[in-house]
Structure 1
Amino acid sequence: MVKSKMSFTLISAIIVFTLVLAGCGNNKNNDQAKESSAAPSASTSSEASAPASAPASESASPDNAIDTSEEVKLVGYLLGDAPAGMKAVVDELNKKLKADINATIEFRYIGWGDLTSKYPLVLAAGEDVDFIYSANWAFYNQEASKGAFREITQDDLQKFMPKHFAATSDVAWKEAAISGKIFMIPTSTPDQKVPVTLIRGDLRKKYGVPEITKFKDIEPYLEAIKQNEKGMIPINADSQYDFAKSFYNYEWETGRATLDTVLITNGWSGVHTEWDDPSGKVYSQFDPYILDSMKASAKVIKSWYDKGYINKNAISNKVRSKDAFEQGKSGVAYGNTNDIQGTLAKAAENGWEVEIIANLSSKGTYPQDPYLNNGVSIAAGSKNPERAMMAMDLIMEDPSYNNLVYFGIEGVNYVVKDGKIALPDGVTAESNTYPPDAAGFWFTNKSQHLPLASWNEQYIAHKQSLKNILVPYVYNAFAMDTSKIKSELATMGTAGTQYQLPIQGGIVKDVDAAYATLEEKVKKAGLDAILAEANAQTQAYLSSK
C-alpha cells in the first residue's frame, strides 16, 4: 500500500512539473507584456552599475510632481502562508498607504508546496498582479527573460523609490542586471544567514546521545527519537523545502559543497561549482569527483529512509519540518538563521531545549547571500506600476512601515523594551498572531531591525559566528544566458524530478542503479551541451572581471 501511494505521488509530482512547462510555453499574457516591456535575454555581465535612465520621452522627470489624486488598489504576491494576524496588519498598513500615497494593497500568497506550479502561472495567466516576490532562487531570471516583469530604470527609482535608491549599493543593481536592464528591486540589505538544522537538546540529553555539532553525526539522535518518541518522526519533511535537505546537508559536510552553476529555480542543470573554490571550476554532476561523493551521501540518506527516520509521505507532504517540530511531531527542523527565530521562541515557552547545527561545507563555510536573494518585481502587466514602486519604497525603507510588516502591530504583536523587540504582556510566541519574519516581507531593510528579546545565548553566538562562516561566491553576480539551451534545461528538469529527487529523498531501491539510469537520461537530455555552454559563459564572465 505504501509502495502504491509513493508511486502515485511521484507521478503526480512529475505531472505538475510538466504542466508548469506547458503553462510557461503557452503564455498569451507574455505577448501583451512585451508591448510594455521588451523581454531580455539573460547575460553574463552588465555594463551599468545602476539602472540605466529611460529616454526623456518615456519617463517623467524626477522634478515632476507625482499625481496620486486617484485612489488605486494594488495586488501583490508573497511566498509562504499568511500569519493569522495578517488581516489586522494589512488593515493598518493600508491606513498608512491611503494617507501617504492614496493606495491600498491586497496580498495573496503562493504556498511552498505550490511554488513550482503556481508562481509562473500567476504571471502567465494574466491575473491581476502588480508586484511579486522575486529572487535569484525564485524565478527572477526565468520570468524576466520571458518579459513577465517591468523594467526598472534609474529615473523610476529616483522618482518613485528615492529612499530605496539612496539605501541600496551599486553592487545590488549590477547583480540584478540582465542584458544591462533591471527587472527586480533587490533588498538593500542582503541576509546574513546560513541553513541550519534544529534538534531537541533536551531529548538528546534524556536519551544519552553525545553532543552534536556536525550534521554527519546526527544519526544516533535520529535513532533515539525513533525508538523512544512514538508520536514523533525523526525527520518529518515536506515535499518542497525539506525533501532534499538531508541529502545536501550531509553531502556539503562530508563531500562536495556545490551550487548549481546555472541556478534554475526549482530546476536542475546537472552542472556544479564548489563554493569554496575561488577559481569557479565547473563540473558535470557525473564527473567522478562529484558523483562518487553524491553516491556515498545518497546511500546514507537511503539507509535513514529505510530505518524510518524520514516520513514515508515526504514527497507529497506540505507541512514543513519546522512547523512539525513546533508541534512536537518532528525531531528535526530545517530552516535558516532568520526563519528559526519564532521556532526557538515557541520551543522555549514549551520548556524545550533546542540546539542549532549550522549546515556548512567541510571547511566550515557557506556562501554569502547576494542582494538578489530577496527582492520584488513589478509585473509587466501592472496597471499601476508607479504606485506599486511608491508603496515598496515605504515598506522597504520607512522604519514605521518596515516594523509593521516585519513585526506586526506595536502593542499587539510586539513592544520595544530596553532597545529590543519583545512580546506584549499576556502574549506568547505561541499566541502571537504575527511572528517576526513569518509574513514573507524578507526584502525589507533589516539593518533597521532591533534585536529580539527572545534571543538566547546560543542564538546570539550563532549570529556572531556568521562573520567567520560566510564567504564570497565567485558567481554571485553571474546570470546565465539560457537562450541556447532552453530545451535541454526543460528536459533536464523533467529528468531531475523523475529520477534524481527519489535518490535524494532516499526512496530508491538501489542508489548505484538509480544514478546509472539518471546519467543515461540526462545524457540524452543534453547535459553535454549545458556543460559546454556553462563553461563558455563562466570563463567569459571571469575574464571580464
Structure 2
Amino acid sequence: MVVRKGLAAAAATALLLATAACGGSNSGDGDNASGTGSSASGTAAAESSSSKLDPVTLKIVMPGDRPADMDKIIAEAEKRMADTINVKLDLVFVPWSDLAQKTQVMLASGEDVDLIFDAPWLHMDQMISAGYYEPLEDLLDQYGQDAVKVRSQQMFDANKFQGHIYALPLGNTHLAGRTYLVRKDLREKYGVAPIQTYDDLISFAYKVKENEKDVVPLLAYGQSGQKDVTWGAFRAFMEYDPQLLRSDALGQSLVLYYKNNDGKVYNLFDEMEPRVWSWIEDARKLYTDGLIHPDVLAIKDVDSVINSGKVAVAVYNEFGVPSSISAALAQNAPGAELEAVTFIKNEKGQNITNFKQANFQAIPKVSKNKERAMMFLNWTADKDNYDLLAYGIEGTNYEKIGDDQYKQIGSGYSYFPYAWIWNPTTDRLNAGFDEESIKHYQFNKDASNLTASILTGFSFDPAPVINEISLYNATEDKYYNALFDGVTDPDETWAKFKKEAEGNAKKIQVELQKQIDAFLAQNQ
C-alpha cells in the first residue's frame, strides 16, 4: 500500500499508503529544480537521438500486486515508446508484506535492476548509506528535465539524502492522507449521525458488534513494514496535543519521535509519552472486546478483507475512498457503501511537515541502463503518458473528467502512480471522492497552509549506527505491531520490548540528535 500503503494508502494507503505519507506541490514550477542548470529538453534530446537507440528492457521492481490489465497497459506504453526512447518494461511486483526484505536482498546481491521503489519508512537511508543507489543530479540534468518540471523546487530541496538527489520523489500533496474507511450504509442503518470524533467512531464500532455478527468492527494492519497503520499508532496522524512526528532514524516507529517542532529527539524507553500509552491501552481494550480483527497480525492482503464487505471501519493511507475498493465492494457486497472519515485539521498552520515525500523511485548503481531509465521517468511526465500508466486505457479502465479528475471503470487497473510515477502536476483526483476529501487534497497542495518543520532539508546518515538500527529493527518487529494492535498485554510486551531494544534505541537517538544539532547550528 501507500504510501500509500503503510500506506500504505494505506497503504497504504497506507497503504496508506500513506502512507501513505506523501507530499508535493501543485505549482510544478522551476525548470531547474535539480539545481543542475540545463536548459535542453530531456524528451526532445531522447527523440532527436531515437534512431540511434537500441531497444532496452528496463527491469522495474514495484510494490503490491500486478493489476489484471497490466500487460495491456505495458503493450500500449511500449508501442508509444518504440519510436522515441525504445524501451520495453519488465515489471516485477513484490507483495507489500515482503517488500523490505526482498528488495534489500535484491540490492545486496547485486541483482540486475534498473528502477526500484523505496521509501524512508522502508529502508531508504540504509540503502543509500550502503551505496546501492545512483545520485541522480547528472541524469536529471541530461535526460530528466520534464520529470523535474512537474515537481517543485521545494519538492527536490526537501527530499535530498546526504546532500544529493538519490531518488525521484513521488507525491501529489505536501501532507499524506490518513483516513478511516467507514461503512456508511451500516451507520445509516442504525441511525448513527455522521462521525465527527474518534469517540463517535468507536461508538459506531460497538453498535456494529452488537448487531452485525458477520462484520468485523475494526481493521488495521499487522504485517512487518506496516507499523504506521496499526490501530494505535495510526492515531498519531490525527491528534495535535502534542503533535507527534516519526523520527528520521526509525521510519514508521514511534519509539523515537519528535514532539511539536522543537528539534529534540524523544525516546519512549526514557519516558513513556502519556498520549502514546493511551493509544496502546485503547487498542488493547478494543482487541479484547472483540472489535479489532482477531487475526490482524496474520492478514497479508488487507484490501481484500475490506473489499469483502465484512469490515465496518478500516484505517487507510489516503484521503477519500479509493475507487478500486468501492468497485470491489459493490461487486462483493451489493448495497455496501464506504465513506471517508478523517480527523486531520484543514486549518492553516496546524499541521507540521518537513515536506518529505513518503515514496521514491531510485536507480540502482548496478543498472546497466541508467540513462534509459531516466529517459523513461522523463517520458512518464507527459500528461498522456502519465494518464496511461496511472489510470490505464481510456474508455476501458478510466474516463477523463476535465483536466484534473478521473473516474475508474471496472477493476482491471487500479490507481497506483504512487508506486512509480507520481507527481503533483499531472496527477488527477478521483472524481468519486466526496467534497470533504477533495478539500483536503486541495488544501495540502498549498505549502503555505502548513507549518514547516525546523528540520526541513535535514537528512539522517545512518552509517555510524547502521548495526544498531539493524538489531533494533529485528527486535521491534517482534513486539511493535502486537502492541499497537492490542493483541498482547501492554505491560508485559512493553517490558520485554524495552529490555531487548533500549540499548540500541539509545545509541540511535544520541547519533540522530548529534546530527540534528549540527544541522540546526549550520542553518541558524
Please state which band the TM-score falls in when normalised by the shorter chain: 0.7 to 0.9
Query: Does the alignment pair 1:401 with 2:385?
Result: yes
Is the Cα–Cα contact under 8 Å of residues 83 and 438 in structure 1 kept in the other structure? no
Is the Cα–Cα contact under 8 Å of residues 75 and 129 in structure 1 kept in the other structure? yes
Match of 1:319 among 286, 301, 307: 301
Query: Does the alignment pair 1:217 with 2:223?
Result: no
Question: Which residue is 1:329 aligned to?
Answer: 310
User: Which segments of 5 or more consecutive residues in structure 2 lack a partner in the other structure?
Assistant: 1-31, 39-44
Tell me the CA shift for residue 198 of structure 1.
Answer: 1.2
Query: TM-score scaled by structure 1?
Result: 0.78
Match of 1:479 among 459, 466, 482: 459
Distance 1:224 1:213 in 2: 16
Question: Which residue is 2:188 aligned to?
Answer: 205
Tell me the CA shift for residue 68 of structure 1.
Answer: 4.2
Tell me the CA shift for residue 441 of structure 1.
Answer: 4.1
Match of 2:473 among 480, 493, 499: 493
Match of 1:151 among 135, 138, 144: 135
User: Which segments of 5 or more consecutive residues in structure 1 lack a partner in the other structure?
Assistant: 1-47, 55-60
Q: Are the structure 2 counterparts of residues 486 and 108 from structure 1 closer, same or farther at C-alpha, using a change threshold of 3 Å?
A: same
Q: Are the structure 2 counterparts of residues 51 and 121 from structure 1 closer, same or farther at C-alpha, using a change threshold of 3 Å?
A: farther
Distance 1:166 1:542 in 2: 30
| Per-residue CA distance 1:151-196 (angstroms, 9 max, x = gap) | 2133x21221121233433333333433333311224854554211
Is the Cα–Cα contact under 8 Å of residues 114 and 369 in structure 2 kept in the other structure? yes
Tell me the CA shift for residue 52 of structure 1.
Answer: 6.3
Is the Cα–Cα contact under 8 Å of residues 171 and 358 in structure 2 kept in the other structure? no
Larger Rg: 1
Question: Which residue is 1:38 aligned to?
Answer: none
Tell me the CA shift for residue 264 of structure 1.
Answer: 3.3
Match of 1:259 among 232, 236, 245: 245
Tell me the CA shift for residue 106 of structure 1.
Answer: 1.0
Tell me the CA shift for residue 488 of structure 1.
Answer: 1.9
Is the Cα–Cα contact under 8 Å of residues 139 and 264 in structure 1 kept in the other structure? no
Give 2:129's aligned amino acid.
S
Tell me the CA shift for residue 110 of structure 1.
Answer: 1.6
Is the Cα–Cα contact under 8 Å of residues 391 and 398 in structure 2 kept in the other structure? yes
Query: Does the alignment pair 1:388 with 2:392?
Result: no
Seq. identity, % = 23
Tell me the CA shift for residue 71 of structure 1.
Answer: 0.9
Tell me the CA shift for residue 403 of structure 1.
Answer: 0.5
Distance 1:82 1:472 in 2: 37
Tell me the CA shift for residue 272 of structure 1.
Answer: 0.9
Give 1:329's aligned amino acid.
K
Tell me the CA shift for residue 67 of structure 1.
Answer: 7.3
Greater shift after overlay, 205-214 or 105-114? 205-214
Distance 1:151 1:223 in 2: 51
The CA RMSD over aligned residues, in Å, is 3.3
Match of 1:515 among 489, 494, 518: 494
Question: Which residue is 1:114 aligned to?
Answer: 98
Tell me the CA shift for residue 131 of structure 1.
Answer: 0.6
Question: Which residue is 2:413 aligned to?
Answer: 434
Greater shift after overlay, 88-97 or 407-416? 407-416
Give 1:72's aligned amino acid.
V
| Per-residue CA distance 1:216-266 (angstroms, 9 max, x = gap) | 432221112222222221123343347853102335538644223234346
Question: Which residue is 1:379 aligned to?
Answer: 364
Distance 2:79 2:174 in 1: 29
Tell me the CA shift for residue 439 of structure 1.
Answer: 5.8
Distance 1:344 1:313 in 2: 21
Distance 1:473 1:326 in 2: 37
Is the Cα–Cα contact under 8 Å of residues 74 and 104 in structure 1 kept in the other structure? yes
Distance 1:372 1:422 in 2: 23
Give 1:246's aligned amino acid.
W
Distance 2:401 2:156 in 1: 37
**What SS class does the counterpart of residue 122 from structure 2 fall into?**
coil
| Per-residue CA distance 1:404-458 (angstroms, 9 max, x = gap) | 01111112112335556555xxxx75x33113x2365453333224444323334
Is the Cα–Cα contact under 8 Å of residues 59 and 115 in structure 2 kept in the other structure? yes
Question: Which residue is 2:67 aligned to?
Answer: 83
Q: Aligned pair count?
A: 477
Give 1:316's aligned amino acid.
A
Tell me the CA shift for residue 484 of structure 1.
Answer: 1.8
Tell me the CA shift for residue 140 of structure 1.
Answer: 2.0
Question: Which residue is 1:538 aligned to?
Answer: 516
Q: Superposition pairs for residues 286-365 of structure 1, below 5 Å?
A: 286-288=269-271, 290-320=272-302, 322-337=303-318, 340-342=321-323, 345-346=326-327, 350-360=334-344, 365=350
Is the Cα–Cα contact under 8 Å of residues 78 and 86 in structure 2 kept in the other structure? no
